[in-house]
Structure 1
Amino acid sequence: MPQYQWSPPEHPDPPEDQPIGIEGVEWSEWVSHSPVYVEVEFTRTGWQRIPGFVDAATDDRVLVQFVHMGFAHRVWLERGRVTPRTLKPRR
């Protein structure tokens, strides 16, 4: 009878859920990092509406920063997929 050699099971990590954005630009306007809601399509989970912040903006594109499933993302999106939101006042 051959000797059994134990080895740990292999569980490859699934590919990360990446946001799908558009091509960015080299220049943009300075913005005040206003809070927004972002409609983003992800490679695995599809469309999500999540909170984020604006990092840069042009006439038709916005660079937004948000966190999805524990990972921080910065993505250029069309201006129509970004809507303003208000933060609750601190007590």
Structure 2
Amino acid sequence: MAEHQWAPPEHPDVTLHRPLGFSAQLAGPLTIIDPPQPVWADIAFEQMPGKLHLKCFAIASSDVAVLVQTAWQGRRQEILVDRDYVFRRALDPRAR
């Protein structure tokens, strides 16, 4: 019987695209949203054409911007988004 040496699988690193968020200086002071609210957000990323329409949770807001959390690319990201590109969404009652 041949011997097999175990080796961990090799996975290439995933290229993380950086979001093009709203300027924190222009957003002004943020007010915490408790509990976080489910929203859709249109977010632009570097080296990607257009904007992605992502499921997010709004965690803070100001008069002109909303801080959202998303799990795009398998990692939690917090992005400051212009308020015009954030839309309310409803959670499926069966998923609660």
Taking structure 1 as the reference length, the TM-score comes to 0.75
From the CA coordinates, give the structure whose radius of gyration is larger.
Answer: 1
Q: Which runs of 5+ in 2 are unaligned?
A: 1-11
Q: Name 2:88's counterpart in structure 1.
A: 84
Provide, for residues 27-51 of structure 1, a one-character-per-residue CA deviation record: whole Å limited to 9, x for no partner: 3212131000010011133321010
Q: Which amino acid aligns with 1:30?
A: I
The alignment partner of 1:33 has SS state of strand
The alignment partner of 1:30 has SS state of strand
Tell me the distance in 1 between the aligned counterparts of 2:63 and 2:74. 30
Q: Name 2:5's counterpart in structure 1.
A: none
Q: Which amino acid aligns with 1:73?
A: Q
Q: Name 1:19's counterpart in structure 2.
A: 19
Give, in angstroms, the shift of residue 63 of structure 1: 0.4
Give, in angstroms, the shift of residue 68 of structure 1: 1.0
RMSD between aligned residues: 2.1
**1:11-90 map, 5 Å:** 13=13, 15-24=15-24, 25=27, 27-31=29-33, 32-46=35-49, 47-90=51-94
Residues matched between the structures, number: 80
Q: Which runs of 5+ in 1 are unaligned?
A: 1-11
Give, in angstroms, the shift of residue 18 of structure 1: 1.2
**Worse-superposed segment, 40-49 or 17-26:** 17-26
Tell me the distance in 2 between the aligned counterparts of 1:64 and 1:19. 12
Taking structure 2 as the reference length, the TM-score comes to 0.72
Give the fraction of aligned pairs with identical amino acids, expressed as a percent. Answer: 26
Structure richer in helix, relative to its length: 2
